[in-house]
Amino acid sequence: MKNVLLLIAVLFSFNAAGQGNGWEWQNPLPQGNMLYDLHIFDEQNVITVGGCGTILKTSNGGNDWNSIKRPTSNYLFSIDFTDALTGWAVGDSGTLLHTTNAGNDWTTQNSGTKRQLRNIQFINSQIGWIVGDSGIILKTSNGGTNWVRQSSTTTVYLCSISIADAQNAWAVGSFGTILKTSNGGNSWNVQNIGISMTFSSVYFINAQTGWAVGASDTLLKTTNGGTSWTYRPTGIGSYAHNSSLYFENAQTGWLSKLSGEIFKTSNGGETWMPQNSRVASLIAIKSFNAQTAWAVGEGGLILKTTNGGNNWTAQTKGNYNTLYDIHFFDALKGFSIGMGGTILKTSNGGINWESKISGTTNSLNSVYFIDALKGWAVGDVGTILKTTNGGETWINQNYQSTENLKSINFISDQIGWIIVSGGLLKTSDAGNTWTKIYNSSNTFRAIFFNDTLKAWALSSGGKVLRSTNGGSTWQPQNFDPDIVFNSVFFSDLQTGWLVGSNGTILKTSNGGQSWQNQNSGINEYLKSVHFTDTLNGWVVVSGFNGAILHTTNGGNSWIAQKTGSSEPIFSIYFTDPQNGWVAGRSGTILHTSTSGITPTHKTIVSVPTFSLYPNPAEEYFQIDSKSPILSASVVDALGREIFTANAIDLGGLQIQVPPSGVRGPGLGKDLKPGLYWVKIQIKDGVAVQKLVKK
């Protein structure tokens, strides 16, 4: 029997910064960082680690994956447990983590190195090894209390280690390196095999029988402890790099590939049979028994089989194609487009992203909407798509060209512009025909109109083209020829920014007549810029780890933000100073309702779940809780309380607790559609949930 039934006649939505850094994943789910390794406790309990310190755990066979609080933002590459409670994880910059409660909490240990640590394996509760960059090998003989560096006699990158017993172990790595110890690591000897390919994984089932796999479909087997190795092709071809190997017993084993394929052997690796699994690149595979196994990899992908690999089911959801652009017309409706003709649409601020049929497999590079119904997307091999029904269906406008189209911008429902590699295209009839009106030997990258007359186009060699007559003529503005400009944005007719290579940010306050350099504080490649007004702006830093620069003073100063993503970000869009989205590799979409700033809230404790419905809502929503509610509050994206209602006296804020469930009078008309916090206070703490206002 529910103790409290609250009917709150207000209309709003909620968005929690689920990663604790101001940004939360919307695609893929539950998160999109690369996963590099996993450990299977039993058929119900599994833990996996990955990029940006990601740790996920399931206690119900993978039906739900829960994020564990991150003790580090460094990449984690490997994890191993000696029993149901005690385990370690290793990663970038010598990261060594330790848990004594099955991975629910982690502490940092001193590894004694800043080298990248790639793989960790224990043979029993006391003895374990770590291998990594520059030939590093660390060993513990006292259950991880101390780690001692051993001489590997090599400086190559070591990717994997396999331990047969306390004396015999093998490590593999780049340049065809296979090392063996027969004395517990006191000495390591090179086993020369005459192959220069990188080995990514090694697995021994005893001191005599083992396998090593790596680049270009390389798979070797030994039956004499590595004295000799025999080539065992999987049959998939030289282009498919092997990533991980795991044997359940002497006969049954699995092999994962960067191509996303999984192979299984039932005869000790003599032959390998392909299994239908291809979704995204796979990095690691392990089994609990001959029937149950998991594989993890790119974009946070988690696959599971319960029938020996005859079928693999994704336990994560979403689109894994790289996304190159994202565009919103309000806080709820938006699009993201990308590789393979991908078009994703949301109507609820990104809580759900729906795939739309584009009719092409060409990559799409840019999307632009002139209003809620009419929009265009452009891409490789001359692809131009148009929609007139809000993106539900798309029509190819059949532009006869093989050029790659980079950027699109419309100034009315008839007049639009497209950037091609060597110039500009223009349409005056809503895209039915396109004419090339500017030719250049330079590579063009982006175009921006801030009214029907004033426009900017960016090209290589530090060149910016400016038009003041709607694109009829263009005048070059020359900058440092070594700068590659990637993005331009104007918040009004006078104020704009250019971003590009070497951390370059330029600002104009006079409509582009002159530009002043702003100090970004970095020398990285800047990919995209977006402002909501003259003060609040964001810049995407190209490369890994999803870095973003943020300013609240028009660019006088910039502060780095971490999105919590290990994937490169390519596009950013904000609908107001609080609500924004980024899109990038492996289907990455992240959202913030706090300007990307980590929100500060009261401690959220483990409390019974409460429900909010209907969701999305229009005129009211209902809160159901199994615990007595002391108070309920609505908090906006900046943490400001819209109202707070005490459970003893809720009438003063038009909130009722009627026993019959009667709806109270509405406050929704006074609140704009957007993303808010809904909090309830109970005896043991604070609980939060999401709700969307249409």
Per-residue HEC secondary structure of 190-225 comes to: ECCCCCCCCEEEEEECCCCCEEEEECCCCEEEECCC
- Contacting residues for 494 by C-beta, under 8 A, at least 6 apart: 508, 509, 510, 511
Closest CA to 518 of 540, 502, 494, 542: 502
Query: CA-to-CA distance for 201 and 199, rounded, in angstroms?
Result: 6
Q: So what's the pLDDT on residue 673?
A: 61
Cα–chain-centroid distance for residue 207? 40
* Mean pLDDT across 328-339: 94
Predicted TM-score (pTM) above 0.95: no
Burial of 117 by CB count in 10 Å (0-12 exposed, 13-18 middle, 19+ buried)? buried
Provide, rounded to the nearest whole percent, the portion of the chain with pLDDT above 90: 62
Is residue 157 within 8 A of residue 168, CB to CB? The reply is no
Structural domains in the chain plus CATH codes: 4-14+600-689 (no CATH), 34-314 (2.130.10.10)
Q: So what's the pLDDT on residue 174?
A: 93
For the beta sheet containing 302-305, the strands, ordered from the edge strand earlier in sequence to the opposite edge, are 282-287, 293-297, 302-305, 313-314
Is residue 184 within 8 A of residue 166, CB to CB? The reply is yes
Provide, rounded to the nearest whole percent, the portion of the chain with pLDDT above 70: 82
Is residue 388 within 8 A of residue 409, CB to CB? The reply is no
More confident residue, 633 or 121: 121
Residue 657 has pLDDT above 50, yes or no: no
More confident residue, 117 or 451: 117
- Contacting residues for 653 by C-beta, under 8 A, at least 6 apart: 643, 644, 645
Extract the tokens encoding 244: 């991980």
Which one-letter amino acid corresponds to residue 665?
P
- From 152-166, 560-574, 623-637, 648-662, the region with the lowest mean pLDDT: 648-662
Angle at the Cα of 212 from the Cα atoms of 211 and 218, rounded to 5 degrees: 120
* Mean pLDDT across 666-686: 57
Query: CA-to-CA distance for 318 and 342, rounded, in angstroms?
Result: 12
Extract the tokens encoding 402: 């093989």
Query: CA-to-CA distance for 69 and 603, rounded, in angstroms?
Result: 14
- Contacting residues for 640 by C-beta, under 8 A, at least 6 apart: none
462 — pLDDT class (breaks 50, 70, 90): confident
Pairing of strands 611-613, 589-592: unpaired
- From 7-21, 210-224, 303-317, 452-466, the region with the lowest mean pLDDT: 7-21
Residue at token pair 């590009």:
500
Is residue 263 within 8 A of residue 272, CB to CB? The reply is yes
Per-residue DSSP letter, 68: P
The number of beta carbons lying within 10 Å of the beta carbon of residue 66 is 12
Q: So what's the pLDDT on residue 13?
A: 29
- Report residue 52: phi and psi, to 5°: 55, 35
Over residues 503-530, the pLDDT tens digits come to 999 999 999 999 999 999 888 899 999 9
Q: So what's the pLDDT on residue 150?
A: 97
H/E element, 274: strand 273-275
17 — pLDDT class (breaks 50, 70, 90): very low
Q: So what's the pLDDT on residue 603?
A: 38
Query: CA-to-CA distance for 20 and 598, rounded, in angstroms?
Result: 6
Extract the tokens encoding 221: 């087997």
- From 519-528, 607-616, 643-652, 658-667, the region with the lowest mean pLDDT: 658-667
Closest CA to 616 of 6, 3, 15, 2: 15
Q: Is the peptide bond before 608 cis (omega within 30 degrees of 0)?
A: no
Instruction: Establish how many alpha carbons lie within 13 A of residue 54's alpha carbon, considering only the half-sphere containing its beta carbon.
Output: 32
Residue at token pair 């004295």:
227
* Mean pLDDT across 261-283: 86
Average of per-residue pLDDT values in the chain: 85
Residue 666 has pLDDT above 70, yes or no: no
Query: CA-to-CA distance for 185 and 207, rounded, in angstroms?
Result: 14
* Mean pLDDT across 556-583: 92
Over residues 315-327, the pLDDT tens digits come to 999 999 999 999 9
Is residue 474 within 8 A of residue 463, CB to CB? The reply is no
34 — pLDDT class (breaks 50, 70, 90): very high
* Mean pLDDT across 548-563: 92
Residue 224 has pLDDT above 60, yes or no: yes
Query: CA-to-CA distance for 571 and 221, rounded, in angstroms?
Result: 46
Q: So what's the pLDDT on residue 620?
A: 64
Query: CA-to-CA distance for 544 and 566, rounded, in angstroms?
Result: 6
Q: So what's the pLDDT on residue 694?
A: 62
Residue at token pair 């005056």:
428
Query: CA-to-CA distance for 234 and 229, rounded, in angstroms?
Result: 15
Helix (DSSP H) and strand (DSSP E) numbers for the chain: 0, 64
The full DSSP string for 119-161 is EEEESSSS-EEEEEGGG-EEEESSTTS--EEE--S--SPEEEE
More confident residue, 14 or 282: 282
Per-residue DSSP letter, 51: G
235 — pLDDT class (breaks 50, 70, 90): low
Pairing of strands 621-625, 55-58: unpaired
Q: So what's the pLDDT on residue 310?
A: 92
